[in-house]
Homo-oligomer: A and B are copies of this chain.
């Protein structure tokens, strides 16, 4: 609970800055410092950090939006770094679907990362992923072979993207794919807040014998910019118990096995 306190405090400032920036196009050092009750030096450091990440551009007295428009996705992921309890419960359930000897693919994301953390008692797994954080956390596990797809490192996200990654996935067939998503909608299908990873995800649903979607309740009944597959492409959904009854019903009607934890 308090284990994320300092991270979130800093993160919260960055989110506030980006939200304000997104609304007004420009923010002041002084103004933000007062609003968040920290020194101007701290806000300057925050601005520099966000500029380094390419999300804004410094100007005298404040900052303006960068021409590269990643604001929406940035906010999306920065905010969603919460709901850890749900994600961990989902991860434990997901890990139970994995048998010794399986070849599995982990999509990128915090939930799939949590699944990777639950594999300590598994044996002889082959894990493939395009998420460097997942590869790193499994690096020292004695009986898991980890394969990283290769590709262009996506600025600030620790994942590999582009045609190298996509071609790799095209030649791949694993037992289980653990898929994540930004938004799930009964009629629109499953979508993501950015295009680059979307291309990868749409290939993933054809790269495994069983496609397992992991997503906490906050992702449902939403639509994000880039659709990558239909609900019917999924074999199983693992989510938490705060998902609405009607939503669960309509998913079950699509022929998807659903587990709420």
Contacts and interface: CB of A to CB of B under 8 A. Distances in A.
Contacts of A142: 52, 54, 155
Given A148-B160, A149-B150, A155 B140 contact: yes
Interface in A130-186: 132, 135-136, 138-140, 142, 145-153, 155-156, 158, 160, 164, 168
A53 interface: yes
25 contacts: A52-B140, A52-B142, A53-B140, A132-B132, A132-B136, A132-B148, A135-B153, A136-B136, A136-B158, A139-B153, A139-B156, A139-B158, A142-B155, A145-B153, A146-B152, A147-B151, A147-B152, A147-B164, A148-B148, A148-B151, A148-B153, A148-B160, A150-B164, A150-B168, A164-B168
Best-buried of A136, A138, A153, A164 by chain B (most CB within 10 Å): A153
Contacts of A53: 140
B132 A156 contact: no
Contact of A153 (B52, B147, B155, B158): B147
A58 to B, nearest CB: 12
A53 B139 CA distance: 9
Interface residues of A, number: 25
A52 B140 CA distance: 6
A132 B150 CA distance: 10
Interface of A: 52-54, 132, 135-136, 138-140, 142, 145-153, 155-156, 158, 160, 164, 168
A168 B164 CA distance: 10
Given A132-B148, A146-B152, 19 more contacts: A53-B140, A54-B140, A54-B142, A132-B132, A138-B153, A139-B153, A139-B155, A139-B156, A139-B158, A140-B156, A147-B151, A147-B153, A147-B164, A148-B148, A148-B150, A148-B160, A150-B160, A150-B164, A164-B168
A18 B117 CA distance: 28
Contacts of A138: 153
Contacts of A160: 148, 150
Contacts of A54: 140, 142
A145 B150 contact: no
Contacts of A151: 147-148, 150
Contacts of A139: 153, 155-156, 158
Contacts of A152: 145-147
A-B pairs, top 10 by smallest CB distance, nearest first, are A150-B150, A146-B153, A54-B142, A149-B150, A52-B140, A147-B152, A135-B153, A140-B156, A148-B150, A139-B153
